Amino acid sequence: MSKRQPSPATHHARAQLQQHLAVTDTAIRHAHAHMVASVQPTLEVLLRDLQARRDTGEEVSLTWLYEGNRLSHFTRQVEQSVNHFSLSAQTMISHAEQTARTVGTTSAKVQLREGGK
């Protein structure tokens, strides 16, 4: 029994899905890079201040991290950035899922019509 070759409609649907997947992947990677870049400056300031304190021989304690809201400011910024990224990624993935359903349904309908000829 020989294996049946995919129809042109199947090839077209697969190409559409691969293209959309690549676009979604790029968009999610870009959103992730943006998230990391948005917290990096605050992290660098915190680390610079921490290192300056160590360089002068001062102790870096949890109290110091809480003074001036250093830790809470950084934590809040990371949380906001992660939440924004999560929402963006979730939206992109939902859109990709909807596109996959639409392409699959359209391809199936075409194949049914072609099979009936």
Q: What is the pLDDT of residues 48-106, one digit of tens each?
A: 999 999 999 998 888 988 888 989 999 999 999 999 999 999 999 999 999 999 988 98
Instruction: Give the residue numbers spanning the domain of 66.
Output: 35-101
How many domains does the chain contain in total? 1
Asked if residue 87 is part of any domain, the answer here is yes
- Is 60 within the bounds of a domain? yes
User: Does any domain span residue 48?
Assistant: yes
Residue 114 placed within a domain: no
**Residue 1 pLDDT grade (very low, low, confident, very high; cuts 50, 70, 90):** very low
Amino acid occupying residue 116: G
**How confident is residue 114, by pLDDT bands cut at 50, 70 and 90?**
confident
Contacts with 93 (C-beta within 8 Å, 6 or more apart), sequence order: 24, 28
The residue-averaged pLDDT of 29-36 equals: 96
DSSP state, 56?
A: T
In a domain, 112, yes or no: no
Write down the residue that tokens 């676009």 correspond to.
Answer: 23
Residue at 20 is within a domain: no
31 and 85 Cβ atoms separated by less than 8 Å: yes
The one-letter code for the residue type at 87 is L
Q: How many Cβ atoms sit within 10 Å of the Cβ of residue 48?
A: 10
